[in-house]
C-alpha cells in the first residue's frame, strides 16, 4: 500500500532512529505499518488516507512556508477546509486537526500547493494527544492567551449565571492570522480562564470574523428564553452578517439556517455589536462599514432596519473602522449618563497602526450624535491596545472592556511560536469631565486586586537610587504591579527606568511643562522583529503636582494607568530577562515619591 518513495523514507527514518539508539521498537513498528497512506498526484497535489482511529492528525508547520490548502474528507464529502503553512524545510511546531466525530466514516485529506519533497510528508503523524503545556517564556501569567495558535480580537463576550464568557478570533492551524474561528474560554473572576476549544467554525459562507453575543432573556428571537445569540461576520470574498444560537450557555452553537441576516455591496462590512436599547425596547446593531458605523434596529434579532450612519468628518480616519461598541456610561460626580461609541481604527492610531478611538454623545435608538466633533479621543495611548469591546449583560451595570494587546503592524511577527497574542487586563469604563470635555476613564478591574501576593512590599523611595525588585518581592518571575504616588516640588521632568542586568530598559517619565506621560520601549529587549516595534508613546496628562500611577508588568507587556485611569497606556515588551530593577530621577528640580508599593502578581 505504501508509496515507494515513502517506503524508502520510512526505512531511512527507521535506520536513523536505530543508529541514534533510541526507542527503536516503537518507531520501527509504527514506520513499517503507517496508519495513513500518502499518494502524490503531481503538481503539488496529494491525498492522505487515514487508516487508524486517532483523535488528531498532527501537522508540522513552518511559518516561513506559504499556505497550503487542505480539504478534510469524510467518505466522499468535504467536511472542513483550512490553510496551513506546512513544513517544507523545517518544523517550527505542530498543529492538531481534530478527527473526532466521524465514526464509521473513512477520513482522508486532499492537500494542494505542497511539493512532494516537502518535509511535512515525513513529519505528520496521528496521535491521541496534543501537548498544550506552555513552551514560551513570553507567555503572560495573568493575561488571557490562547492555549495554542493565533489570536486577535476578543469576540462575543457575555456574562451569564456567574460566568464570564470570552470568545476570540482564533487560528487553530497556526500561530499566524488565518482560518478564523471563535475560540472560547470562561472565567468566574476575569483573571483565571478555562479553555474550551473552538465554539464557532468556518462554513460555506466563510470564516468567522469578529462579533458579539447577547442573552435573549425574553425570547425575542424565538430560540428560547435565555438563549445566547452570537452575531458574527461570515467572511469570504465578501463580508455578510450571520447569527448562531446556543441553548447550553455558550458551550455549543447552532448556526441560524437562514444566514446571512444582513448583506451589503460594501467590501468592508463587519464586526456586528448588538445591544439592547431600553428606551425604544429594540435591539441595536452597530456595524463597521469602511470608515463609518452603520446603526440598525430590530425587534427579533433576525430582521434589521438601517437607522443611520455615523462617521463622516468625525474623529480619526487614517484607516478602516472596525469592531464598534455602543454603551451608556455614568459621568463621575453627576447624575448624568452619556453614550459612548467605541471605534477601533487600523491603521491611523496615534503612534502608527491600530488603536481605539471613541466618541461621547447622545443616542436615541436611531442616531448617535457626537457632542464634540472637533476632538479626537483615544482610549489608550500605547501601541498595543486594539479591538476593544465590552461584556454584554455584565453584572451590576458594569462596563468591562477587554482589548487585544497587539498591533496589526507586527502582530504576526512577535517573538512567540506556540501561540501569538494576549489580551489586555480587564478594565472598567466610566466617564469623567475635564475642562468641559467628557472622556472615558479606564480603571483596571477590581478583580485584579486578587492577583496581589501577600509578600508585597511598601517602600519609602528615594530619587536617584536603584532598587532591586527581586529582593523586594523575594521573587524573580517578572510579573508584578507597582503602585506609586509622586509629588513634584519644582522638577521639569520626573521619571524612572525599569531595567534588567542585560541593560534592557523601559523608561517612563512625566514632562511637567508639556503635561505628558511617556513610555519609551526602544531599548526594551527584542525589538528588531519589526521596524515599527521600537517606539515611544506619549499620553496627555492633566496638570497638578501629584501623580498617581499603577503599572501592570507581565512576561511581555506593561500597562500604565495614570491618575485613577484618566489615561491608560499599553505596550508589549520582550526583555530577554525580567525587568527587576527600578531607579527614579528628577530633572531641573526635585520631587518626592511619597508612596511606592510593589506587588507580586500571580494566579492562585
| Binding residues for ligand FRU (CB under 6 A) | 152-153, 169, 180, 209-210, 233, 270-271, 322-323, 387
The 3-class secondary structure across 41-61, one letter per residue, is EECCEEEEEECCCCCEEEEEE
Q: How far is CA 28 from CA 3, 121, 396, in A?
A: 17, 17, 62
Q: Which of 494, 421, 474 is nearest to 580 (CA)?
A: 474
Per-residue buried b or exposed e for 466-475, using 16+ beta carbons within 10 Å of the residue's own CB:
ebebeebbeb
Q: Which of 519, 504, 522 is nearest to 576 (CA)?
A: 504
Per the CB < 8 A criterion, the answer to whether 89 and 62 are in contact is yes
> C-alpha grid cell for residue 181?
474561528
Altogether, the residues listed in the chain come to a count of: 604
Distance CA 362, CA 439 (A): 14
Distance CA 555, CA 137 (A): 7
β-strands 125-127, 292-298 pairing: unpaired
Distance CA 180, CA 533 (A): 25
Distance CA 524, CA 509 (A): 15
Distance CA 321, CA 323 (A): 7
Distance CA 168, CA 598 (A): 32
Min dist CB 232 to ligand FRU, Å, is 8
Distance CA 415, CA 137 (A): 10
Please, what sign has the CA dihedral across residues 300, 303, 308, 312? positive
Distance CA 535, CA 531 (A): 9
Min dist CB 580 to ligand FRU, Å, is 34
CA 395 and chain centroid, separation: 23
Q: Which of 153, 216, 271, 384 is catalytic?
A: 153
Bridge partner list, 326: 341
Q: Which of 528, 603, 604 is nearest to 139 (CA)?
A: 603
The 3-class secondary structure across 468-484, one letter per residue, is EHHHHHCCCCCCEEEEE
CB atoms within 10 A of CB 42: 7
Q: What are phi and psi of 437, to 5 degrees?
A: -115, 140
Q: What are phi and psi of 286, to 5 degrees?
A: -105, 130
153 classed as catalytic? yes
Q: Which of 325, 338, 307, 587 is nearest to 438 (CA)?
A: 338
Local structure of 369: helix, strand or coil: strand
Per the CB < 8 A criterion, the answer to whether 361 and 369 are in contact is yes
Kindly give the interhelix angle for 24-32 and 4-20, rounded to the nearest 10 degrees.
Answer: 180
DSSP string covering 300-364: SSSS-EEEEEE-TTSS--SSEEEEEEEEEEEBTTSS-EEEEEEEEEES--TTSS-EEEEEEEEE-
Per the CB < 8 A criterion, the answer to whether 482 and 550 are in contact is yes
Task: Tell me how far apart the terminal alpha carbons of the chain are, to the nearest angstrom.
Answer: 53
> C-alpha grid cell for residue 96?
492538531
- List the catalytic residues: 153
Amino acid at each position: 500500500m505504501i508509496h515507494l518513495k515513502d517506503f524508502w523514507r520510512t526505512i531511512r527514518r527507521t535506520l536513523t532512529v536505530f543508529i541514534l539508539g533510541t526507542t527503536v521498537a516503537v518507531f520501527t513498528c509504527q514506520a513499517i505499518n503507517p496508519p495513513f497512506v500518502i499518494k502524490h498526484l503531481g503538481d503539488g497535489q496529494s491525498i492522505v488516507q487515514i487508516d487508524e482511529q486517532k483523535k488528531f492528525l498532527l501537522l508540522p508547520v513552518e511559518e516561513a512556508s506559504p499556505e497550503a490548502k487542505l480539504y478534510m474528507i469524510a467518505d466522499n464529502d468535504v467536511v472542513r477546509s483550512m490553510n496551513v503553512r506546512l513544513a517544507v524545510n523545517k518544523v517550527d511546531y505542530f498543529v492538531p486537526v481534530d478527527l473526532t466525530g466521524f465514526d464509521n466514516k473513512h477520513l482522508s485529506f486532499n492537500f494542494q500547493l505542497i511539493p512532494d519533497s516537502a518535509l511535512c510528508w515525513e513529519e505528520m503523524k496521528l496521535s491521541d494527544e496534543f501537548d498544550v503545556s506552555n513552551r514560551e517564556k513570553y507567555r503572560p501569567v495573568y493575561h488571557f492567551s490562547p492555549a495554542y495558535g493565533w489570536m486577535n480580537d476578543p469576540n462575543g463576550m457575555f456574562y451569564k449565571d456567574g460566568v464570564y464568557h470570552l470568545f476570540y478570533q482564533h487560528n487553530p492551524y497556526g500561530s499566524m492570522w488565518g482560518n478564523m474561528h471563535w475560540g472560547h474560554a470562561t472565567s468566574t473572576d476575569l483573571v483565571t480562564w478555562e479553555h474550551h476549544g473552538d465554539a464557532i467554525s468556518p462554513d460555506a459562507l466563510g470564516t468567522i470574523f469578529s462579533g458579539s453575543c447577547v442573552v435573549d432573556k425574553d425570547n425575542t428571537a424565538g430560540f428560547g428564553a435565555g438563549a445566547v445569540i452570537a452575531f458574527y461576520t461570515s467572511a469570504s470574498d465578501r463580508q455578510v452578517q450571520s447569527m448562531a444560537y446556543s441553548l447550553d450557555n455558550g458551550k455549543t452553537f447552532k448556526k441560524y439556517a437562514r444566514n446571512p441576516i444582513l448583506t451589503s455591496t460594501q467590501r468592508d462590512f463587519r464586526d456586528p455589536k448588538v445591544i439592547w436599547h431600553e428606551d425604544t425596547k429594540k435591539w441595536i446593531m452597530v456595524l463597521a462599514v469602511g470608515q463609518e458605523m452603520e446603526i440598525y434596529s430590530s425587534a427579533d434579532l433576525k430582521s434589521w432596519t438601517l437607522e443611520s450612519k455615523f462617521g463622516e468628518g468625525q474623529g480619526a480616519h487614517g484607516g478602516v473602522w472596525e469592531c464598534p461598541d455602543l454603551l451608556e456610561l455614568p459621568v463621575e460626580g453627576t447624575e448624568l449618563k452619556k453614550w459612548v461609541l467605541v471605534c477601533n481604527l487600523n491603521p491611523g492610531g496615534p503612534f502608527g497602526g491600530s488603536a481605539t478611538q471613541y466618541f461621547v454623545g447622545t443616542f436615541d435608538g436611531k442616531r448617535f450624535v457626537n457632542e464634540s466633533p472637533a476632538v479626537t479621543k483615544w482610549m489608550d495611548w500605547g501601541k498595543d491596545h486594539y479591538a476593544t469591546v465590552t461584556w454584554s449583560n455584565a453584572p451590576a451595570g458594569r462596563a468591562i472592556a477587554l482589548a487585544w494587546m497587539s498591533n496589526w503592524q507586527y502582530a504576526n511577527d512577535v517573538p512567540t511560536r506556540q501561540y501569538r497574542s494576549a489580551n489586555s487586563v480587564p478594565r472598567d469604563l466610566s466617564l469623567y469631565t475635564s475642562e468641559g470635555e467628557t472622556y472615558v476613564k479606564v480603571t483596571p478591574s477590581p478583580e485584579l486586586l486578587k492577583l496581589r501576593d501577600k509578600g508585597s512590599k511598601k517602600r519609602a523611595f528615594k530619587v536617584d537610587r536603584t532598587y532591586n525588585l527581586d529582593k523586594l518581592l523575594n521573587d524573580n518571575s517578572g510579573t508584578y504591579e507597582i503602585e506609586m504616588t509622586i509629588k513634584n516640588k519644582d522638577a521639569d521632568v520626573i521619571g524612572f527606568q525599569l531595567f534588567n542586568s542585560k541593560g534592557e530598559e523601559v523608561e517612563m517619565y512625566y514632562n511637567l511643562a508639556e503635561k505628558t506621560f511617556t513610555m519609551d520601549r526602544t531599548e526594551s529587549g527584542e525589538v528588531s522583529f519589526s521596524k515599527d516595534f521600537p517606539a515611544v508613546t506619549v499620553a496627555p496628562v492633566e496638570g497638578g503636582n501629584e501623580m498617581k500611577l499603577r503599572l501592570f508588568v507581565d512576561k511581555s507587556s506593561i500597562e500604565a494607568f495614570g491618575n485613577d485611569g484618566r489615561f491608560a497606556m499599553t505596550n508589549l515588551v520582550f526583555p530577554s530577562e525580567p525587568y527587576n530593577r527600578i531607579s527614579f530621577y528628577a530633572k531641573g528640580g526635585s520631587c518626592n515619591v511619597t508612596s511606592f508599593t510593589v506587588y507580586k502578581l500571580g494566579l492562585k
